[in-house]
Every structure is written in structure tokens, then in C-alpha cells.
């Protein structure tokens, strides 16, 4: 067999291992090692295994990952999201489905201090779903809104997915972060519009709350307590946009500011820091294992020549860049049903990068589209990870089918948003263009 045939069989073997529930990072490492061994020699396979993981993880940009995770877990463990949800609830209670809309708003703010969709969903599930249950909201609407709003953590900067995408594609992480602002806010707005329309058409989904005065004492008190999250956002995104900090430096500053906020508010404790550090370490290790496997897989695919062959075949067959994007979107939407978001991105990028380069497609624009596709994958069955997070947070009282049914409306809304991002690249490229 030649190298192309071996690489093709390796992909089949990889999908088989993933289907057998082998962790995707381990599967990538094993398939890459065996593939290089069969294509070249055992010595070359061992050489790649020794060199690639160290060279990859040693990249300075990757140090942003644990810092952003730590910042998010400190904010979550310190309860900085509670006041934000309260303020959003009081601001949006005049809208039909106000609590669900408040969940989207609060998730958007927390996403900007987290960078992780899973962390955003887990934090909001403990706050928003009990409130909606007390208000007798439809269970599918309440759980689906939290699971779907949590996906905003992938788009609204800082985003762990964007850091990894930027490293793999050699794209400016700072510009990716800024590019995600408008698409992230657009996604949140589309969710709110969909909730309002659904509840207007079927009021039994969300009984109306008692409408408070616009500037009630409760709202004034809540607004006084929401300053920590805007402060974190200003420190991180403001520093990046102004060119004062790199994303890595912004992550470190964000984690430090989060600690200062907990000290100022009197909620700092050794237990809080121990939990945040443990969760950040576990999250970082999981991401790095997948990233190491993906870097080995990328090196192996480059050696085999399969991505170049596939890329040339696509470019010879499809002339329109939009058609290429739609084909890639279809692949990611189907793959997102079965693979976790980071694994899907890293598994497909070795094939997408040559196609994008050949078609002269902007990597920042495509990065935003890719992240939107990953968001959709987080709430599509059977492996919609955010939906499992919600069920885990609420216990067996919430059937998984109920969460997926509620999330289905948000998937449809995300597809509309995706079409807008593809049709109007300026939505993603305008703000990065201001950075120079």
C-alpha cells in the first residue's frame, strides 16, 4: 500500500476507535504513531512521538488556555454570576420569556469572563433553571435555553476554541477574539428574539412574572453588584483591542484581577482557589492531550500527502469559495453530532487548511464560522456535550430528551445566524480591521 492508502485506512481506524469510546486524544496519538510506522519506519514514529508533543505544548500562546480557564473557574466558584442573572432578570422581565432571555444575557456576560462553553453552562444551570422552575416555565425551554446560551462561551471572547484554532492555523488570536464580539452578540440577540416569538405564540411555555418598576430598588441593588464581570471583560478585551496586551498576557491579568475581586468582595478562600486550580488543571490537561494528538495527526497527514490530495480535488471540482464553505459546514455539522467540539476542530483542520489556502479564504472569517459550527455541535444529539452538562447539573429529574428537544429551537436559530455570518463576512471582519 502507498502512503495515501495507509492514511485513508488510518482515518477509518481513527473513527472506529472513537466509536469504541477511546478518548479522542489517545486515538489520535495511536493512529498517528502506527500510521507513520507503516509509512516510514519505527524509528521515525518514535522520533515524531518524542519531538512533536514538546514542541507543540511549548508554544507560548498555549499558556493562555490555563489562565482563561482559571479566570472563569474563579468567577464561577466565587458566585460572580448570580448578581448578573438577577440584574438581567429585572431588566428583561417585561419581555415574554423574560427569565429565559435573562439566561441568555447573563450567559453572554459570563462567557466573556470564562472562555469555556461547559463552564458557562454549568454555572448558569445552578442559577437559572431553579428560577425558571419556580416560575413554572416549560422544562424543555428552561433547560434548552441554558444549554444553548452556554455555547456563547465558544464565540464571545476570550475563547479557548479560538486560542487553539489560532495556534493551529497561525492566525492572530487577538484579532480572532475581537472578531468574535459582533457574532457573539448577534447570536445572543437571535436567541432572545426566538424566545420572545415562541412565548408570544405559545404563552403557556413561560407564564409572565409580575412586572417590576423600571428602576426598582431591587434592580438598583443588583446593578451595584454586577461590576466584577464588566471589570474582567474590560481588563481582558480592552487590553487586547488597545494593543496593550497579548492574549496570553490578558489571560494572566484576567486571572489576577479575578483573584483581586474575590479578595475585595470578601469571598476569597483557600478552598475556592484549590477548586479553581484543580478544575483549570483538569480542563487544561484534557485540552492539551487532544491538542498533542491532533498535532501528531497533522504531522502524519502532512507526511502522507492525503490532505493535499483532497484539497486539490475539491479545488478542481468546486470553484466558488461559498460552496467550499457550505461543504465544510456540512462536514462539521454532521461530525458535531458525534465528536466533541475541540476534537472535531483539530481532527478536520489538517484537511481544511490546504483548501482554505488554495481558495484564498480569510482565516479570521473562517475561524468565526468554525466556532459557530462548534457551538451548534455542543447542543446537537447524540453527543451534545452542553446538554449532558445540564442533565448532570440537574440530576435524573430532567430527561436528556427534554434538554435536546428544547435545544432544537436554538439549533435552528444558530443555523440562521450561521447563514448571516457566511453571507456577510463584514460581521466578523469589521472590528479586527480597526486594529490595524
User: How does pLDDT run along the chain (436 residues), one tens digit per residue?
Assistant: 778 888 888 888 988 888 888 888 888 899 999 998 988 888 888 888 888 777 777 777 788 888 888 888 888 778 777 777 888 888 887 889 989 999 999 888 887 776 677 777 877 888 888 888 888 999 999 999 999 988 888 898 888 889 989 988 999 999 999 999 999 999 999 999 999 999 999 999 988 765 555 566 776 776 777 788 888 888 888 888 888 888 888 888 988 998 999 998 888 899 999 998 998 888 888 888 888 888 888 888 888 888 888 888 888 888 788 999 999 999 999 888 888 788 888 888 988 999 999 889 999 999 999 999 999 998 998 878 888 888 877 776 778 888 899 999 999 999 999 999 999 999 999 999 887 6
Give 428: exposed, middle or buried? Use CB within 10 Å, 0-12, 13-18, 19+.
buried
CB 262 within 8 Å of CB 268: yes
Alpha-carbon span 11 to 325, nearest angstrom: 22
What pLDDT score does 128 carry? 86
Alpha-carbon span 261 to 74, nearest angstrom: 10
CB 431 within 8 Å of CB 179: yes
Alpha-carbon span 110 to 154, nearest angstrom: 12
CB 122 within 8 Å of CB 79: no
What pLDDT score does 202 carry? 93
Element (H, E) at 191: helix 181-201
What pLDDT score does 148 carry? 92
What pLDDT score does 212 carry? 54
Alpha-carbon span 115 to 338, nearest angstrom: 23
Amino acid at each position: 500500500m502507498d502512503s495515501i492508502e495507509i492514511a485513508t485506512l488510518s482515518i477509518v481506524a481513527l473513527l472506529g476507535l472513537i466509536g469504541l469510546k477511546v478518548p479522542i486524544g489517545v486515538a489520535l496519538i495511536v493512529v498517528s504513531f502506527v500510521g507513520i510506522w507503516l509509512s516510514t519506519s519505527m524509528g521515525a514514529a518514535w522520533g515524531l512521538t518524542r519531538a512533536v508533543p514538546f514542541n507543540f505544548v511549548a508554544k507560548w500562546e498555549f499558556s493562555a488556555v490555563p489562565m482563561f480557564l482559571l479566570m472563569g473557574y474563579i468567577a464561577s466558584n466565587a458566585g460572580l454570576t448570580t448578581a448578573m442573572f438577577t440584574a438581567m432578570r429585572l431588566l428583561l422581565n417585561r419581555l415574554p420569556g423574560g427569565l429565559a432571555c435573562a439566561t441568555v444575557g447573563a450567559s453572554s456576560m459570563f462567557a466573556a469572563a470564562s472562555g469555556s462553553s461547559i463552564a458557562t453552562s454549568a454555572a448558569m444551570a445552578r442559577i437559572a433553571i431553579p428560577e425558571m422552575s419556580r416560575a413554572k416555565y416549560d422544562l424543555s425551554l428552561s433547560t434548552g435555553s441554558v444549554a444553548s446560551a452556554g455555547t456563547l462561551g465558544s464565540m464571545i471572547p476570550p475563547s479557548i476554541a479560538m486560542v487553539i484554532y489560532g495556534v493551529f492555523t497561525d492566525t492572530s488570536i487577538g484579532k480572532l477574539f475581537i472578531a468574535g464580539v459582533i457574532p457573539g452578540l448577534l447570536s445572543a440577540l437571535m436567541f432572545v428574539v426566538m424566545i420572545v416569538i415562541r412565548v408570544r405564540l405559545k404563552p403557556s411555555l413561560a407564564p409572565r412574572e409580575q412586572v417590576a418598576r423600571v428602576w426598582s430598588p431591587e434592580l438598583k441593588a443588583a446593578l451595584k453588584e454586577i461590576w466584577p464581570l464588566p471589570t474582567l471583560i474590560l481588563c481582558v478585551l480592552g487590553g487586547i483591542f488597545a494593543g496593550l496586551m497579548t492574549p496570553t498576557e490578558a489571560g494572566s491579568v484576567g486571572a489576577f484581577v479575578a483573584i483581586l475581586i474575590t479578595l475585595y468582595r470578601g469571598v476569597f478562600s483557600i478552598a475556592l482557589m484549590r477548586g479553581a486550580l484543580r478544575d483549570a488543571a483538569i480542563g487544561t490537561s484534557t485540552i492539551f492531550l487532544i491538542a498533542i494528538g491532533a498535532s501528531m495527526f497533522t504531522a502524519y497527514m502532512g507526511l502522507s500527502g492525503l490532505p493535499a490530495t483532497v484539497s486539490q480535488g475539491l479545488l478542481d471540482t468546486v470553484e466558488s469559495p461559498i460552496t467550499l464553505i457550505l461543504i465544510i459546514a456540512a462536514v462539521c455539522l454532521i461530525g458535531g453530532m458525534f465528536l466533541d467540539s475541540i476534537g472535531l476542530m483539530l481532527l478536520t483542520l489538517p484537511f481544511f487548511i490546504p483548501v482554505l489556502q488554495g481558495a484564498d479564504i480569510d482565516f479570521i472569517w473562517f475561524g468565526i464560522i468554525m466556532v459557530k459550527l462548534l457551538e451548534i455541535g455542543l447542543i446537537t444529539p447524540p453527543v451534545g456535550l452542553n446538554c449532558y452538562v445540564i442533565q448532570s447539573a440537574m440530576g435524573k429529574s430532567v430527561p436528556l430528551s427534554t434538554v435536546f428537544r428544547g435545544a432544537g429551537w436554538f439549533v435552528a436559530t444558530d443555523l440562521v445566524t450561521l447563514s448571516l455570518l457566511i453571507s456577510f463576512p463584514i460581521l466578523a471582519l469589521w472590528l479586527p480591521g480597526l486594529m490595524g
